[in-house]
Amino acid sequence: MSIRILVVDDLSFMRTAIREIIEASGFGVAGEAENGVEGIMLYRERRPDVVLMDITMPVMDGIESLRRIVDYDPKARVIMCSALGQQEYIIRAIQYGARDFIVKPFRPERIVSAVRKVAKVRE
Binding site for Mg ion (CB under 5 A): 10, 54, 56-57
Beta bridge partners of 33: 8
Instruction: Pick the closer one to Mg ion by CB: 25 or 35.
Output: 35
Instruction: Pick the closer one to Mg ion by CB: 56 or 113.
Output: 56
Query: Nearest distance from residue 57's CB to Mg ion, in Å?
Result: 5
Give the CA distances from residue 101 to residues 84, 115, 121, in Å, rounded to whole numbers and listed in that order: 12, 11, 16
Query: Nearest distance from residue 74's CB to Mg ion, in Å?
Result: 26
Q: How many CB atoms lie within 10 A of CB 95?
A: 10
Instruction: Pick the closer one to Mg ion by CB: 36 or 119.
Output: 36
Query: CA-to-CA distance for 42 and 47, rounded, in angstroms?
Result: 8
Query: Nearest distance from residue 56's CB to Mg ion, in Å?
Result: 4
